[in-house]
Amino acid sequence: MSIIEIEGLTKSYQVYQKKEGLLASFSGLFRRDYREVQAVRGIDLSVEQGEFVAFLGPNGAGKTTTLKLLSGVITPSGGTARVMGHVPWKRENEYRRRFALVMGQKNQLWWDLPAQESFLLHQQIYRIDPEQFRRTRDELVDLLAVRRLLGQPVRELSLGERMKMELIAALLHSPDVLFLDEPTIGLDVVAQHNIQKFLKHYQNLRNITILLTSHYMKDIAALCRRVVIIAQGQIIYDGSLSGIVDRFSSHKVLTLLFADSKMPSDLARFGDVLEVAEPKVTLKVDRHVIADVLSSILANYTLQDVSVEDPPLEEVIADVFSLSYNEVTGQEAAQVVTSPSNQ
């Protein structure tokens, strides 16, 4: 049985609509307009134990809402989910003892006290055996190299240091499932890298299941083999990171270095010209016709160097985000890929 099973999970909200103007504000006292926002629209997902899965998606896509549903913080409008056999929104203590949620830039540690006091409180609440607690804490503290900061009030720590403390607090009770909501947001590059290293190491060590949402490609590329793209409340892709390019990218980037300073004058008929810096040319070419383009160029000109690359991952993903679910499934059927950037 999968450790996480989600079927048809839905969550919608009623949002109060405010109209412009003073009179409208007054009438708002007596009658309000509501708009229904569907944050999550039927998600189906299975995750096996030990997987490290990334949720990718534009802002407002429903990634965080999904994590909150799986944590039992909010209750769904429809659908089912089971994590380790428990229904999250029942908020059973047995379930809560076995997972952890960490949210980037949100602090649960006592602000004015040193982190170690919050850790002790955690020990009491999770009823962690003192010996076990000491061992786990020391292990985590050393892994993240924050020993000398334990006695400092949390408010005096930098953002990166605070995030590390949050991670430690979350892992003190050795959860089997870890949910991470943008853990590295707002951190500098070094701090991000440290946290990535730590997560990779920890996951290898413990073989726990981790769901991670992030905007940073580096996080995802470094840590996750499986990527789930969520847009407008639905899953539009579930597979490997490299698979995204194969699936969604419609073209490749062709860089040509011409010898003898002889260049074609009508480059535009091969594809979009991205950059011309004689004798180097960069073109965006539809991937179906790459072979033909290359052969016709080679037939008439001499090339000193050629490179055929995928477009940057960020670009592809940004394009994907702007697609709707129907467009994506429509793409699959038609095998013809259209993206806004290809006009």
Partner 1 sequence: MHRPSYARVFLTFARNSLVRDMTFRSNFLIEMVTSMTWMLMNLGFYVLIFTYTDSIGAGTGWGQYQFFLFIATTMMINSLVQTFFMPNAEEFSELIRTGALDFALLKPIDTQFLISLQRVNWSSLGNFALALLLMGYSFTKLDYFPSAVQILLYIPYVLCGVTILYSLMITLAATSIWLGRNQSLYDFWFYITNFSRYPMEIYSGPFGTPLRLFFTFIIPVLVVVNVPARLLAMPLEAQNWWLAGFALAATALCLFASRRIFQSALGAYRSASS
Partner 2 sequence: MYARALTWWTILRICLEERLVYRGDFALGTLMRFLPIVTQIFLWAAVFAAVRAGEGGSDATIAGYHYQDFVAYYLLTMVSRAFSSMPGLASGIARQIREGEIKKYLIQPIDMISFMLLSRVAHKLVYYGVALGPFALVFFLLRSYFPGWPEPEIFLAFVASLIMSFLLGFFLEATIGMIGFWFLEVSSLLFVYMLFSFFFSGHMFPLDMLPQPWSTVVMLIPLQYLAYFPAAVFLGKITGDALVFGLLVQLGWLIAMIVACRLAYHFGTRRYSGYGG
Q: How many CB atoms lie within 10 A of CB 262?
A: 10
User: Does residue number 25 form part of the binding site for partner 2 (CB under 8 A)?
Assistant: yes
Name the binder of 75 from partner 1, partner 2, none, CB < 5-8 A by kind.
Answer: partner 1
Adjacent-strand bridge partners of 78: 10
**Nearest residue (CB) to partner 1, 29 versus 299:** 29
Segment contacting partner 2 (CB under 8 A): 22-30, 56-64, 133-141, 295-303?
22-30
Least distance from partner 1 to the Cβ atom of residue 274, Å: 36
The residue from 22, 277, 299, 333 that contacts partner 2 (CB under 8 A) is 22
The residue from 120, 245, 263, 267 that contacts partner 1 (CB under 8 A) is 120
Instruction: State which of positions 222-261 bind partner 1 (CB under 8 A).
Output: none
**Rounded Cα gap, residues 339 and 230, in angstroms:** 18
Contact 87, 81 (CB under 8 A): yes
Q: Could you give the count of Cα atoms lying within 13 Å of 157 in the half-sphere of its Cβ?
A: 28
Which SS3 state, helix, strand or coil, does residue 196 take?
helix
Q: What is the DSSP letter of 260?
A: T
Q: Could you give the count of Cα atoms lying within 13 Å of 123 in the half-sphere of its Cβ?
A: 15
Contact 84, 98 (CB under 8 A): yes
The residue from 12, 38, 110, 206 that contacts partner 1 (CB under 8 A) is 110
Q: What is the DSSP letter of 86?
A: B
The residue from 8, 18, 87, 205 that contacts partner 2 (CB under 8 A) is 18
**Residues interacting with partner 1, by CB under 8 A?**
13, 64, 68, 71-75, 91, 93-97, 100-101, 103, 106, 108, 110, 112-113, 117, 120-121, 124-128, 153, 181-182
**Residues interacting with partner 2, by CB under 8 A?**
18, 22, 25-26, 28-29, 32
